[in-house]
Amino acid sequence: MKNILVTTLGFTWQIVPELIAFTNPKEYPLFKNFDAAFQNIRKQYDIKPVNEVWCITTDDPEKKIIKDLKSWHDAFQNHFTIRVIVSKKLVDMKTPEHCRKLGDLIYRTVLRAAEETKGGQLLLSLTGGRKTMSADMQKAGEIFGCHALIHMVDSFTKPQREEINNPEIFLKPLDKSYAEALVPVITSGRRTADNLLFQGEKIRPEIYPIELCDDFENRIAVETRLHDEVEKRFREASSLYVNYRQKLEHSINASNFLALYTIPVALLDRLKQERIGICTENSEKELDFIRKLPKAELHCHFGGILNASEIIDVALSNTEKMEAHLDDTVRAWQRDILHLIEKKDAKAIRKQIGPFKSLRNLFPIPEPYSVCAFLVLFKNHAELLDQVIFGSHTDTFSYQAIGIEAYESLGDLQGSALMKSPESIKKACSILMEKVRKNNVLYLELRCSPVNYETKDLGAMEIVEIMVQEFEEQKHCRVELIFIASRHGDMETIKRHIRLVQELKEKNLRIVGFDLAGAEDKKSPKELRELFLDLMKDCMGLTIHAGETAAAENIWEAVYHLNADRIGHGLKLLEQRDLMGKIKERKIAIELCPSSNDQIVGYKTQKRGKQYGIYPLRAYMDEGLRVTINTDNPGISRTDFSKEYLKAAQMSEGGLSLWEVFTLIRNSFRSAFTDMETRKHLLLKSEQQIMELIEEHFLRGVRN
């Protein structure tokens, strides 16, 4: 079993002892004064000591570089072998043909080394020589495979480099000042040979040989046969990949991002085996990874996005206009509340103000200023307001199975209580966009009820225009709107929202869908069919809250009476297997919201809840349903766009594999109500980001 390091040589021979000192610290303690920093790198990438070093370089009549390297090697008297592979009669790379010939020599050398290191390690260095040589070396690693790609970065000035251009200096440990100027960087961890390039006749070393003898220097005739063959196979592989991708696009079995089907089998298996949501100690690390993943959020209510601190910030944005309406009565009331705030007595505050909804019209001043007059008092007391709102539910373990009414009441200080001014809407939009950016959400469908935010000075049309303008000013995420009709609202309000969505669609103001929400026992989908017919005629995307707290019958009605394209929550599908089959057949997406589902209904998790049922996510995925993961009300549910994926894993027996997480993400993009071209663009963009993350976290060894 042999370990070989292959590098190119340029004008400095010192790269060879520097690399050997990194790979073989015991035999060659050049970095003895600074090796501690390198130990972690070697351990992280499992770098073993090498037995041989192969150096590829151009022909040099004076052979100065080779002579200096041999002088050092002879004086060092180490047991490992150095082979210098010289491009015979190719002195410099002045033409594309010269570059192809040297590239061919690099390919042949790496091919031979890959054969000789089976069962061992092949390390490739990207340091030394021209940039084209480094590029060819990296490409060779991608084609034939390697254990690691190494780059030795140095910060030497030219005089410093000349100062150490002496073989004797490299016979003993370098001074710390020299050693600190050298930093080994692993640009890529283990790479397996590219299977797409090896369809048909295998590329073998005996077909493209280099004859190596036991001498220090080996002069090898240059050619381009292997280089030409590789280029040819790249072209063929590209066509094969395109055909394969097109085939997958029409295949119902392509359940994940198409590029994932082209990665090495060993890595694909790892993505299917590595799971999140099992070990609490890994939660932060897993969450960091999830935050980097691209996401599409399909079920998020504007009226529930704010946490306590953000509610205060939105209220403060109204300060100037609010102050103009505060009289002595209001200010006296504020002083009473401030007294309780200073005592940090959340229960007394709650008792003093009564139901949150009563604050809306507590004083004869325009909305939302009565609510704001209360909230601004907590400017430096966000934690206290959090306790006032949530009480015992600040504890995650007690915030479970509280029912829909109790859950919705936790949002009574935001939504229509607070969003009745341009200032509130703009500030809330700004806060939302920051959350989107932090969690890499590329696409967001935001649910809102503009009619509920109206005042005598602010109409629904203006509200929507403000929101659209705020969202258009940021580039990271595309935001579309879904209007909501509430089951517990009066029929006229529902009709107004339907008329509004039709008017705004004509103006092309990012209205992509309509939602029916609210307590399911108030109005059934069947009762509202007539009102929804015009939306169906306009081919508006329809998503219906169903099967959250009511039986599967409500889901059936949403599908058959309202022609739902998506189902919000849909937790009761397992009650009707035939209906589940129809939903799968029609590719109706299910919008699961793990945190709110647990908080409202209650489900068994890995740490609690034997008395609760099993969350249906795993069963739905096993049945092949198009399931998506969403936040519902991130502020009310005390969650964010990334935490929901981890929560989903924690609520699923055995957690979720990374492959399953990628599937859920793809489902969201595929189920978006946006136009086909935008959906296609988002799918490709998210696929690219995921492939880059896989490269960073697995092939480069960042994720252990």
pLDDT at 242: 58
Nearest C-alpha neighbor of 446 from the set 437, 436, 455, 438: 436
Q: What is residue 637's predicted lDDT score, i.e. its pLDDT?
A: 98
Confidence of residue 491 (pLDDT cuts 50, 70, 90): confident
Lowest mean pLDDT of 268-272, 328-332, 386-390, name the range.
Answer: 268-272
Please give the average per-residue pLDDT across 431-451, as a whole number.
97
Q: Where is 585: in which H helix or E strand?
A: helix 577-586
Across residues 166-170, what is the average pLDDT? 75
Let me know: does 625 contact 583? Beta carbons within 8 Å: yes
Neighbours of 697 (CB within 10 A): 16
pLDDT at residue 239, as a whole number? 60
Tokens of 649: 């894993």
Q: Is the pLDDT of residue 252 over 50?
A: no
DSSP label at 327? Answer: -
pLDDT in the model for residue 197: 58
* 3-class secondary-structure state, position 589: strand
Q: How far apart are CA 694 and CA 267, in angstroms?
A: 9
User: How many angstroms separate the CA atoms of 308 and 391, rounded?
Assistant: 12
* pLDDT of 33 above 90: no
pLDDT of residue 502: 83
Lowest average pLDDT, out of 170-179, 390-399, 449-458, goes to 170-179
Angle, helix 577-586 to helix 552-560, in steps of 10 degrees: 40
Alpha-carbon distance of 29 to 21, in angstroms, equals 6
Find tokens 């029916």 and name the residue: 516
The predicted model gives 249-268 an average pLDDT of 73
8 A C-beta contact, residue 485 and residue 515: yes
- What's the pLDDT score for residue 64? 81
Residue 102 near residue 133, CB atoms below 8 Å: yes
- In this prediction, residue 251 has a pLDDT band, given cuts at 50, 70 and 90, of very low
Query: Which of 71-75, 111-115, 345-349, 566-570 is predicted with the least confidence, judged by mean pLDDT?
Result: 71-75
CA distance to 361, 450, 485, 490, per residue, from 367 (Å): 7, 15, 22, 21
- Token pair 């966009």: residue: 433
Q: What is the DSSP letter of 695?
A: I
What pLDDT, on a 0 to 100 scale, did the predictor assign at position 213? 84
Residue 250 has pLDDT above 60, yes or no: no
DSSP labels for 166-183? -GGGGGSPPPHHHHTTEE
Which residue, 356, 465, 329, 472, is CA-closest to 410? 356
| pLDDT tops 90 at residue 243 | no
The overall average pLDDT reported for the chain is: 88
Tokens 């696929």, residue located: 687
The proportion of the chain whose per-residue pLDDT surpasses 70, expressed as a percent, equals: 91
Lowest mean pLDDT segment, chosen from 138-152, 290-304, 599-613: 599-613
Residue-level pLDDT at 45: 83
Indicate the pLDDT class of residue 447, thresholds 50, 70 and 90.
very high
CA atoms within 13 A on the CB side of 665: 33
**Highest mean pLDDT, choosing among 162-166, 234-238, 542-546:** 542-546
Confidence of residue 391 (pLDDT cuts 50, 70, 90): very high
pTM above 0.85?
no
Distance CA 592, CA 569 (A): 5
Question: What length is written for the chain?
Answer: 704
Q: Give the integer Cα–Cα distance in Å for 327 and 516.
A: 40
Q: In the prediction, which pLDDT does 253 show? A: 46
Residue 240 burial class via C-beta count within 10 angstroms: exposed 0-12, middle 13-18, buried 19 and up: middle
Q: Could you tell me which residue, 183 or 56, shows the higher pLDDT?
A: 56
Distance of alpha carbon 136 from alpha carbon 57, whole angstroms: 13
Q: What is the mean pLDDT of residues 405-419?
A: 97
Pick from 216, 292, 227: nearest CA to 53: 216
Helix 15-23, helix 64-76: angle, nearest 10: 40
- pLDDT value, residue 701: 43
Contact of 649 with 293, CB cutoff 8 Å: no
| Whole-number pLDDT of residue 425 | 98
**How much of the chain is helix, strand and coil, in % rounded to 5?**
50, 15, 35
Within 10 angstroms of residue 202's Cβ, the number of other Cβ atoms is 7
Residue 200: pLDDT band by 50, 70, 90 thresholds?
A: low
| CA nearest to 383, candidates 341, 348, 413, 335 | 341
Could you tell me the domains of the chain?
Answer: 3-231 (3.40.50.10770), 307-413 (no CATH)
| Those residues with Cβ within 8 angstroms of residue 103's Cβ, 6 or more apart along the chain or in another chain | 132, 136, 139, 227
